[in-house]
Amino acid sequence: MPELPEVQILVNQLAPRLERARIRAVESRDPKIKLDRHLVGRRIRRVRRQGKNIVVDLSGGLHLLVHLRMTGWIEFDRLKRYRAAIHTTRGTAYFEDARRLGVMQVVTPEQLDRALKKLGPDPLLDGCGLSELQATSRPIKVALLDQRLVAGVGNIYASESLWRARINPRRRSDSLQSGELRALGRAIVASLRRAIAYGPRIFEAQQFAVYGRKGRPCRRCGTMIRRLVQSQRSTYFCPRCQR
């Protein structure tokens, strides 16, 4: 599933291609996606990100809200299979999504505000204060996946950030001290920024510290990385660095 870094990289690609363009036509090949014909003629003012959401601000006070979910992505080259397409004066954006779980919908400012208010702080936009984590007894790795607490962090970067902060993923969230939370906040920001720096090559070039490295040596101490399952998701950690 694309997490905050992958979504930000996609936004970085979309913005220069779509901003200031005018929508010429909209196309939906999936009944789950309903694109209002009134979008035609509107100008794309801005393409931005909030958490894992892509927000396209349009003239006339409407917005296009996109969530990629598990397999969604947006390409500029015509695809054989795609769920929807936005044809503009500066090219066409094709929304592909093999599992058809992604969301693309037209919303009013009020609807957008309600949707985004459900999210916790975005680590790169709002800072990474994690005080709300102390209000839950869930394991810290599980709590980090709750988008109401921290927006944009998913399974991969939760494991990576906990390794950076030397925090065991099984620790109760409410057991973390203020210093540990500050360290975790810094680790989250560092992990996300490092991933974004890969740019469009992220899927081929990215090297993880712990994620997907079960049985391989920790890059810090050499201890073999372990894997455990938390809330039906794989967690990777170093048993020595993250006691």
pTM, whole model, 2 decimals? 0.95
Classify domain 4-117 at the CATH topology level: N-terminal domain of MutM-like DNA repair proteins (3.20.190)
What number does CATH give the domain 131-237?
1.10.8.50
| The predicted structure's pLDDT at residue 96 | 97
Q: What's the pLDDT at 199?
A: 97
Give CA–CA dist 66/54, Å, rounded: 5
Other beta carbons less than 10 A from residue 235's beta carbon: 21
Helical spans, DSSP H, in 90-169: 109-117, 140-144, 155-165
Q: So what's the pLDDT on residue 128?
A: 84
CA-closest candidate to residue 65, choices 81, 77, 47, 91: 47
**All structural domains of the chain with their residue ranges:** 4-117, 131-237
pLDDT at 183: 97
Q: How crowded is residue 114: how many other Cβ atoms within 10 Å of its Cβ?
A: 11
Angle value at C-alpha 41, between 40 and 42, nearest 5 degrees: 95
Block means of pLDDT (10 residues each) for the chain, length 243 residues?
95 98 97 92 98 98 96 95 97 96 97 97 92 95 97 98 98 97 97 97 96 98 98 97 95
Catalytic residue positions, numbered:
2-3, 52, 233
34 within 8 A of 107, measured Cβ to Cβ = no
